[in-house]
Amino acid sequence: MPDEDRHAYEEGVRRGGAVLTADIDDDQIDDAVRVLEDSNSIDIDDRAAQWRQQGWDYHGAAGLRAGHDRALHGEGLTGRDAVEEQAIPVVEERLQVGKREVERGGVRVRSYVTETPVHEQLRLRQERVDIERRPVDQPLSGAEADAFRERTVEMTARGEEAVVAKEARVVEEVVVRKTATEEVREIDDTVRRTDVEVDQDGRRDDPLFRDDRDR
């Protein structure tokens, strides 16, 4: 047997496996292979390739074989450092409920100027000066003795005119107010979790297949 194959088998035994040899006829080879596959046997070449990817080197493993053999004989097959491990993560979701602010709409209030025609009636008083000449033929009275002098008569005509004034007054207020209320909202959702089911093939008391929960 080549050294590389021999060391691969030795490494498999060191990691807790077993080597099975059989002497069968040629016409029973297919049946034997099928039995091994149904028994979940491993391909030593594929497993050795995985070990090499993990850093195993059969050259270095050969020099350490004696020490490992002593450790196996001293501790038995239950030594956990010599067993290959593959981990299946148990994942679960946790629901985290929070809150954030969002816009729900709003209102915009603006003011603008419009003009409305206003009609009012106002009575105005107007004065007018008229000059009238009347013919008179009568003697002067005593009060009119000084009629031969210069005289000036002045009369002023007055009138009323409309005066328009505007006064701004507050007649209404539009108040924009924002109030806040709180309500209790029920949140219903689902979370996922992966569960691991262990199906043990072989004897349950075999130390190679012991579950931590059996302790």
- Structure confidence by residue, pLDDT tens digits, 3-31: 667 677 777 777 777 777 777 788 877 88
- Is 113 domain-assigned? no
pLDDT of 210 reads: 54
More confident residue, 83 or 168: 168
Residue 68: φ, ψ to 5°: -65, -40
CA proximity to 58, closest of 15, 134, 130, 6? 6
How far apart CA 16 and CA 162 sit, in angstroms, is 120
- Is 157 domain-assigned? no
CA proximity to 54, closest of 10, 78, 84, 80? 84
Check pLDDT > 90 for residue 160.
Answer: yes
**Is the alpha carbon torsion for 40, 41, 46, 47 positive or negative?**
positive
Percentage of the residues of the chain whose pLDDT score is greater than 70:
76
Q: Which stretch of 51-55, 57-61, 110-114 has the lowest confidence by average pLDDT?
A: 57-61
Contact 16, 47 (CB under 8 A): no
Secondary structure of residue 30 in the 3-state scheme = helix
Contact 8, 44 (CB under 8 A): yes
pLDDT of 3 reads: 66
Percentage of the residues of the chain whose pLDDT score is greater than 90:
30
- Is 11 domain-assigned? yes
Contact 125, 160 (CB under 8 A): yes
- Host domain of residue 34: 3-92+191-214
- Is 82 domain-assigned? yes
pLDDT of 68 reads: 46
Check pLDDT > 50 for residue 205.
Answer: yes
- Is 8 domain-assigned? yes
Number of domains in the chain: 1
Check pLDDT > 90 for residue 116.
Answer: yes
Check pLDDT > 90 for residue 203.
Answer: no
Report DSSP state, residue 146.
Answer: T
- At residue 70 the predicted structure's pLDDT band, cuts being 50, 70 and 90, is very low
pLDDT of 79 reads: 41
Check pLDDT > 70 for residue 81.
Answer: no
How far apart CA 90 and CA 195 sit, in angstroms, is 6
pLDDT of 43 reads: 75
